[in-house]
Structure 1
Amino acid sequence: MKLDRYDLKILEILSRDGRITKSKLAEAINLSVSPCWERVRRLEKAGVIEGYGARLNTDVLVKRTPVWVQIELKAHNAESFARFEALVHDTPEVTECVAVGGGVDYLVKFEATTIDTYQRLIDEWLVSDVGIERYFTYIVTKTVKRPSASISIDDLAT
């Protein structure tokens, strides 16, 4: 799908403010409301815009302790990776997991109600047949920056 400067600007604005009104969005990109909103619908239909949502401050709702864990598996084959990734998907306390290159295989973020809860979870993982060789735990003491879905037009133009 070819995106022009209007499409790119729409995406930049909506990534920062998904609740912007049709008229304010149109004004921000210097188009009238109908053509602007047709572009938004086209971007939605093409799957470029997957949906809209709210960023929740979960700390206000439930106090959780974030813990990052580096994990290295014993075996490095498709079956081992699939088994580990299935366990990750089946563990609700895991909020993020990425496979990485380098000295470890995965970085996993747990959000547990207590450190004891996290420790029980990792102990269960270690005695399971998932094949963890070693792990290193990092307890988060302060969140410096939270992930954001906002993008800039410069990111989109490249």
Structure 2
Amino acid sequence: MRQDKLDSIDLRILAALQREGRMTKSALAETVNLTPTPCWERLKRLEKAGYIKGYRAEVALEKIGSVTTVMVEVTLKQHRYEDFARFEQAVRGIDEVVECYATGGGIDYLLKVVARDIDTYQRLIDRLLIAEIGIDRYFTYVVTRAVKTALQPSVATLVPDGDIAPEKTSGRAG
């Protein structure tokens, strides 16, 4: 299934699940104005085509223990393919690195690190430097508070206006 094959019902299904991933099948069908069976078939098709990457819980880590979030700019010493690959392989294996983006411009990578505290973060950076994965420089920015957090923008912001019709409140299509 390619993007141009998504219709407004598919987009409404994605938008509804994005808002509430634990929605029951019958509630989803009602939300998108379908009967349960066709809605379920569309949902399975969207999952199989990779439009839905997974279902997960967002855990309140701060309720479990102390959490420090740090943004890190990283510049590598060399810029060959193998240098990027070595760095990327290393950060993929570190649980505290929750996001890593290769960037164009003045830095090579932007990382989001979530650690127990600043000392734990610094020990992580020290291990990366000792591992010789090509880091030339890094700059640390400690997050003092989250102003906005969203895993991704809503589906509706990514499609042309009008492609996601408003949800209906009565009557269902089959």
- Which residue of 44, 47, 52 corresponds with 1:49? 52
Alignment pair present for 1:135 and 2:141? no
Query: Could you state the TM-score of these two structures normalised by the residue count of structure 2?
Result: 0.82
Query: Could you state the TM-score of these two structures normalised by the residue count of structure 1?
Result: 0.90
Aligned-partner Cα distance in 1 for 2:53–2:129: 37
Note the C-alpha offset of 1:150.
5.7
Mind listing any 5+ residue stretches in structure 1 that lack a counterpart? Answer: none
Alignment pair present for 1:77 and 2:80? yes
List structure 1 segments (4+ residues) > 6 angstroms apart after TM superposition.
none
Correspondence for 1:13: 16
Mind listing any 5+ residue stretches in structure 2 that lack a counterpart? Answer: 162-174
Alignment pair present for 1:101 and 2:104? yes
* Percent pairwise identity: 52
Say whether the 8 Å CA contact 1:16–1:149 is kept in structure 2: no
Higher normalized contact order (CA 8 Å, seq sep 6+, divided by chain length): 2
Aligned-partner Cα distance in 2 for 1:77–1:95: 24
Alignment pair present for 1:155 and 2:172? no
Residues 65 and 26 of structure 1, relative CA distance in 2, 3 Å threshold? same
RMSD: 1.7
Note the C-alpha offset of 1:31.
1.5
Which secondary structure does the structure 2 equivalent of 1:39 belong to?
helix
* Alignment-mate amino acid for residue 141 of structure 2: Y
